[in-house]
Structure 1
Amino acid sequence: MKKVITLLVLLATFTQTNAQSDLTGQSAYGSWFMYFGTNKIADKWSIHTEAQFRYYETASNFNQLLLRTGVNYHINPNAIATLGYGFIETDPTFSEFDVIGGDALIKNNSISEHRIFEQFILKNKVWEFNFEHRYRLEQRFVQNNFSGITNTLHRARYRIQMTLPLTDIFFLNFYDEIFINLQDDAFGQNRAYAALGVNVTEDLSMQFGYLKNHFSETNFDRFQVGLFYNTDLRGIFKKKK
């Protein structure tokens, strides 16, 4: 009888753990669809444009919208400084459900964030490997749209990226990025990424990859499709001038 009770307890614990995992989306394979652009407007200046659509599941169950832009100053071909702004809208719940609290029906609500960031990129090459070191500081103004409470948070990020050309068309891309909170617990998250890239044209490329997003208590697996389009707008600006 004791063995049966022990087995039932273990089964209940396993079921509860899986249910909690399902509520956070840990057991699901999510997807990120991304666009990045560097738009050259002068010899030393360019505009960064970016849009990301993130889902808890493959192309469904909305998680996050991220829009980001910034001004880049190209110190030299291997060093770039950026000042930028981002807007992020997040649905923090994996499952769409309502919670009844007392007589009120409380719906899950989104989180809106306005973000200012400062960034510095250094590039170098070792044999055939192209390395990129990205240092970023973020000032985050995060609002819970249900309670109306806004918090100001600060964060530092460091990403090391390595690109290996395979042919003139195909390449491999890898990176690891760590997020450090400048308040409360220091560790925020870590992202490890691997992708196959395709140079469609001289200015247009795509990447098809996999991201492991690790938090202190959760892990998420994400498929990624990225579009990179770099334009040279210097001719347009010179004509206007």
Structure 2
Amino acid sequence: MFTSSAFSQTDNLNSWYQYTVSAKLNEKWSATALSQYRSYDVVKDGRLFLVSGYLERNFKNGISPAAGYMFLILEPYTDVMEKKIRYENRPYQQLTIRNKMGNVSVMHRYRAEERFLTNPDDFILRLRYLISLKFPLYKNDGTEVLYGIFKNEIRMNVVKDEQFDSNRITAGLGINLGKNSSLELGFINQVGADDTANYTVVSFKNNFDFSKNND
């Protein structure tokens, strides 16, 4: 198992585990919460832990503005191969546009986030653009069972000596386990200003629709 080096590093193996729960509250509003853990190896060598949640306003044209908050514990290695702990408070605002091209679901997400970091104290305003494609691969009796995923996200710092933060490419497969749950397995390649990191990804999702109960 690979442990990171300090500068210009290439991480050959990192793990990324995520749980997401989304709920449609009514025809206009939905809420999402997630937790995520990343490690430099399979599990033990922690790299990052976060919890996040946001509230989203849904319009009929597929446009959804949202606002949320994220708390992170970062565990980067220093140049002498020692870890330090950094905490981050991150409010953010985003705009999501959803549509379809044939049987492919397309999502564009524009996000602005205000990053308040400790050890050392720092503030970074960062902009992100994500395009996500989801396409069916296998159906059983008209129900989607297996689907493919492709994503690309670029992240840029607004006021910083190095404006480019990173570019993240994701490819994977998803399996619908039932009406409200899915499991996604994938691979992420993230190219930063000073390093490159590769992740294997395991993501579990729950989706609920409470709007029917409100009708």
Considering the TM-score relative to the shorter chain, is it more than 0.5? yes
* Number of the residue aligned with 1:4: none
**Equivalent position amino acid for 2:118 in 1:** Q
Report if the CA contact (8 A) 1:112-1:142 is conserved: yes
Report if the CA contact (8 A) 2:4-2:40 is conserved: no
Once residues 189 and 156 of structure 2 are traced to their aligned partners in structure 1, the CA distance between those partners, rounded to angstroms, is 17
Does residue 191 (structure 1) correspond to residue 164 (structure 2)? The answer is: no
RCO greater where, 1 or 2, for CA within 8 Å and sep 6 or more? 2
Deviation at 1:165, TM superposition (A): 0.4
* Number of the residue aligned with 2:97: 122
Once residues 94 and 37 of structure 1 are traced to their aligned partners in structure 2, the CA distance between those partners, rounded to angstroms, is 34
Does residue 180 (structure 1) correspond to residue 151 (structure 2)? The answer is: no
Does residue 78 (structure 1) correspond to residue 53 (structure 2)? The answer is: no
Deviation at 1:226, TM superposition (A): 0.7
Does residue 40 (structure 1) correspond to residue 24 (structure 2)? The answer is: yes
- Structure with greater strand share of residues: 2
Deviation at 1:158, TM superposition (A): 0.1
* Number of the residue aligned with 2:38: 54
Partner SS state of residue 140, structure 1: strand
* Number of the residue aligned with 2:84: 109
Number of residue pairs aligned between Structure 1 and Structure 2: 206
* Number of the residue aligned with 2:110: 135
Deviation at 1:183, TM superposition (A): 1.1
Partner SS state of residue 28, structure 1: strand
- Once the two structures are overlaid, the 10-residue window that deviates more, 73-82 or 117-126, is 73-82
* Number of the residue aligned with 2:123: 152
Partner SS state of residue 201, structure 1: coil
What do the CA deviations read for 1:95-141 (whole angstroms, capped 9, x no partner)?
9965xxxxxxxxx4200000000011101111221111000000111
RMSD of aligned residue pairs (Cα, Å)? 2.3
Does residue 212 (structure 1) correspond to residue 189 (structure 2)? The answer is: yes
Deviation at 1:60, TM superposition (A): 2.5
Once residues 120 and 63 of structure 1 are traced to their aligned partners in structure 2, the CA distance between those partners, rounded to angstroms, is 28
Report if the CA contact (8 A) 1:136-1:156 is conserved: yes
Report if the CA contact (8 A) 1:56-1:94 is conserved: no
Report if the CA contact (8 A) 1:179-1:189 is conserved: yes
TM-score normalised over the length of structure 2: 0.88
What do the CA deviations read for 1:206-236 (whole angstroms, capped 9, x no partner)?
1100000110221011000011111123467
Instruction: Point out where structure 1 has 5 or more consecutive residues left out of the alignment.
Output: 1-19, 99-107
What do the CA deviations read for 1:163-185 (whole angstroms, capped 9, x no partner)?
11012200000000000100122
Report if the CA contact (8 A) 2:128-2:154 is conserved: yes
Does residue 228 (structure 1) correspond to residue 205 (structure 2)? The answer is: yes
* Number of the residue aligned with 1:9: none
Report if the CA contact (8 A) 1:28-1:57 is conserved: no
Q: What is the aligned counterpart of 1:161 among 110, 124, 132?
A: 132
Deviation at 1:27, TM superposition (A): 3.9
What do the CA deviations read for 1:37-71 (whole angstroms, capped 9, x no partner)?
21122221111101000001122200000110011
Q: Percent identity?
A: 25
